[in-house]
Structure formats: C-alpha cells, structure tokens
Amino acid sequence: MVLLVHERPDLDAIGSQLGLYYLLKSFDIPVQMYSKDPAPRISHYLIGSDLIHSGDQGAAVVDGCDLLISLDCGSKGRLSLSSEMFEGRKLINIDHHASNRNFGDVNVVDASFCATGALIYDMICSLNLPISSACASALFAAILTDTHRFYKADAAVFRMAADLIDHGANSSLATEEIYGRVSENQLHLLQESLQTLKIRDQGCSSWITVDAAMMQRCGVDYEDTEGLIDYARNIDGIKVAVFMRHDAVDVWKVSMRGQGYNVSRIAESLGGGGHLYAAGCTMHGSQEEICAILQMKVRALLEENV
C-alpha cells in the first residue's frame, strides 16, 4: 500500500504519513510513502522523512500496489496526482477537515479531531496497537503543529501529547526544530511582507501579500511563508485575516484565518477548503482581481456575522 498526503504537505500530513508508516511496518506490512511535493525542511528531523518519495516517482511507487491511503487531504484534487495513479486501486481517505469531500472508497473523516495525526493516534489506541518512538514522534509533530503549539487544545489533546512523549516523542526537540529556527532570509521576508500589511473594514480585516519578486529578492521559497498570516491574525480587533502569495503568473495561494468568523465558507466558495477558522484556496487572476473578490467576500462575511 502507498500513503499519500496533500500537495505542499504540512507537518500534520507528514506526521500522519510517517506515524502510519511505522505502525504498518511494525506488522511487516509492505508500505511506501509518496508526496508530490517534497517533505518540508521542518520535517527533516523526523526519522523516516527521507524515505518519502516525491516528484516524478509517483507512478513507480504505486506500481504493484492495490491500496492507497490519503492523509490530511480534503479533496482528491489536492493530492495532485494523475488519474492513472488511482486506476484499479482502492482508496482510503483519513482526514479531519470539515470540508472533506468523502472521495475515498472508505472514508474515515472526523472533524472533531484537532489533527489527522490525532485521529490516527485514536485509531491506534482503540485497536490497542503498539506505538514505536518513531511513530510517536511523527504523531506528536502532527498534533503540535495543527493545534498551533497547543493553542486552544483541550485536556484530551494534552493527554494524547503526554502519552506520545511517554512513547518516545521529544517535545523540546520538536518545538526547537519546528519553531525555534529562522533563517536570515526568512526575517527579510517578514520585514518586506509586513510592509504590505493593510487593515480594512474598520479595523476588522487584515491583509498581507507576498509576491514572486519579493520571494526572489529575499531568497526564500513557499515553505518560508508559513506563519506569516499569524502576524495579520493576531492584531487586536481583527476578525478575518487574509494572506495572499503569488505562486505563478495569475496563480495565488490564499490563506485565511477567522476569529469567530467562518472563513472556510469563503474558501469553499472559491474551490478550496479547510477548517472553520483556518482555511485556504487557490485563485486565478491578477492581484487586483483576486483582491476585489476577496474583499467583497470578507465584507459580506463580516456583515453577516456568522
């Protein structure tokens, strides 16, 4: 079987992939991992992250396999795989996005979990299966990041994390590797991107833009833009924060965060998805065009107050 994750995978995707990989390995089940985009640098400290195949290896990895498992991915399209890769293979969809389209032959989707890694942990516990330290470290990283360092985590999440630490996850190593390192280039990007900050809607919405020239000037890639939206989201009084990144000619990656406002409604209306208060989508057009659409949708959301 082959474990798959969403494009440009985050640590919930990679942590779930590695966690499940080591669980299956402990039963000598033949399993491989594939991600269209390479595992991000912040995942490199996890044992096995170098075993994740990527790029044009997809067809070779699925060759001879009859079962695919999609992890942390809300829609089949976000796996970014060619349709031939699915042909003649069963697909299991394991995810925690409320917007999940139930695209698998079997769907294990539960939006009550804070992370796909937490859903996998729960499955492992209910089946009384063993947790190796490699598996524990991977699932810990998934939960740590998708809860934004346990922000708004409840007691059950802390219990899960504590149990994973008991099984060998190193909490301080994870925090240091994921959050404790920043390159000089990333700081330059932060500096430039904050200059684009705009506050609109009488102080209720905040906007940050990163264009391709900025990324080139600062010598960074898309991984380095992770977390920039938090600067917009955390401003006092902000209800909706929007981050726009120019990925290619007329292609924009949009991230949104809501404070009590359901931004996934906007993301879903634009073909994306996510969670109630953290969602995203890809938009096509000029900066002016996508900005106008987003501003209209954000204003409507703020006025509806839902």
- Contact residues toward ligand AMP (CB under 6 A) are 74, 78, 97, 255, 272-275, 278-282
Size of residue set near Mn ion by CB under 5 A: 6
Among 2, 3, 8, 12, binds Mn ion (CB under 5 A): 12
Q: What is the DSSP string of 217-235?
A: HHT--GGGGTTHHHHHHTS
Shortest separation between residue 176's beta carbon and ligand AMP, angstroms: 21
Per CB under 5 A, does 224 bind Mn ion? no
Q: Which is nearer to ligand AMP, 53 or 78 (CB)?
A: 78
**Secondary structure class of 44 (helix, strand, coil):** coil
- Give exposure, 50-87, as e/b (b: 16+ Cβ within 10 Å): eebbeeeebeebbeebeebbbbbbbbbebbbbeeebbe
Shortest separation between residue 11's beta carbon and Mn ion, angstroms: 8
13 binds, among Mn ion, ligand AMP, none (CB under 5 to 8 A by kind): Mn ion
Q: Which is nearer to ligand AMP, 37 or 163 (CB)?
A: 37
Per CB under 5 A, does 95 bind Mn ion? no
Among 19, 146, 246, 278, binds Mn ion (CB under 5 A): 146
Sign, CA torsion 135/141/144/147: negative
Query: Distance between CA atoms of 30 and 245, rounded to whole angstroms?
Result: 39
The length of the chain in residues reads 306
Query: Distance between CA atoms of 140 and 145, rounded to whole angstroms?
Result: 9
Shortest separation between residue 114's beta carbon and ligand AMP, angstroms: 11
Candidates 36-44, 67-75, 205-213, 268-276; binding stretch for Mn ion (CB under 5 A):
67-75
Place of tokens 């524990």: 136
Among 68, 72, 246, 265, binds Mn ion (CB under 5 A): 72
224 binds, among Mn ion, ligand AMP, none (CB under 5 to 8 A by kind): none
- Asked whether the beta carbons of 255 and 227 are under 8 A apart, the reply is no
Positions touching Mn ion (CB under 5 A) are 10, 12-13, 72, 116, 146
